[in-house]
Amino acid sequence: MKIESPKLNLHIHSKYSDGRNSIEEIVNSALKKDLDYICITDHFTDSWKADHIPNLNNIDKIKRYLEDLSRCKDFLVNENKKLTLFKGIEIDLSSSEKFIINNIVPNKYDFILFEYLESFEGIAFVKKILNFWKKKYNSDFPLIGLAHFDPSFFITRGLDVLLEFLKEYDVIVEFNSSYPQFYSPKYDIFFNKLKEKYIKVSIGCDSHHISSLNDIESPQKMIEFYKLGENLEALIASLEFKRITYLNK
Ligand SMILES: [Zn+2]
């Protein structure tokens, strides 16, 4: 008998940024689709993108976003649903350090995604932010992940530097169904290293509409293809830890 692995989609956008649905609509749809774990990860940026896509660009909006998420989270707990909702955010790495530090309190989130890590400077930038946060907020630290990570920048130069960073900071690599080119077998050297180093992997669909909430089959298959099942299980254990910690609060 094959035990079904949990269904997760940890990369979803709502109306708080460029998604089409409210958080409530997303939660209701995820319940119907029988998902186990979802995370809403709306955009956060003050780069040129900020003028083109709606995003979490001020403290008041972030506050409403987090309150809305808390309300839906508690609804699921109180109704004894098997679906768990996590609070996330997706930080554009072209944002300024000041904007990130001034607006994001990390332990208010379960999962923080960084998008567009494409250089050694990017690694240094993320490290700087994480070191700052870790010094200031040491309890309830969120899980940290890389959204739709493109391995091509590191594969020919400095793969070891990247892997060391992922390991040291316990950074999760996302299999994003909207960007299957980034988990293509041509990058098997990278994915084999993830297995060897036991780096966590996650599944996200970058859903901007409820119709794609359950597009998890392709990432699931590729995680199996690279034999990263244990790496995914390690992530699920962390999600369970977050879920139980919240219940005991
Ligand atoms: Zn996204």
**Token pair belonging to 212:** 């794609």
Q: How far apart are CA 202 and CA 159, in angstroms?
A: 20
Measured in Å, residue 1 CA sits from the centre of ligand 1 at: 35
Distances (CA, A) of 138 to 131, 132, 134, 166: 10, 10, 5, 19
How many residues would you count in the chain? Answer: 249
What average pLDDT does the structure give for the chain? Answer: 96
Confidence of residue 3 (pLDDT cuts 50, 70, 90): low
User: pLDDT for 226-248, tens place per residue?
Assistant: 999 999 999 999 999 999 999 99
What percent of the chain is modeled with pLDDT above 90?
Answer: 96
Alpha-carbon distances, residue 207 vs 12, 69, 90, 152, 214 (angstroms):
5, 17, 13, 24, 9
Which CATH class name applies to 8-247?
alpha beta
Domain extent listing, the chain: 8-247
- 206 C-alpha vs ligand 1 centroid, how far in Å? 5
pLDDT of 1 higher than 50 = no
Tell me how far the alpha carbon of residue 176 lies from the centroid of ligand 1, in angstroms.
9
How many A from CA of 11 to the centre of ligand 1? 6
Q: From ligand 1's centre to the CA of 91, what distance in Å?
A: 9
Asked which of 10-14, 152-156, 170-174, 203-207 is least confident by mean pLDDT, the reply is 152-156
Tens of pLDDT, residues 44-57 = 999 998 999 999 99
34 Rama sector, left if φ>0, alpha if ψ -120 to 50, beta otherwise? left
- Whole-number Å distance, alpha carbon 41 to ligand 1 midpoint, is 7
Structure tokens at 158: 């400095």
Tokens of 29: 């749809």
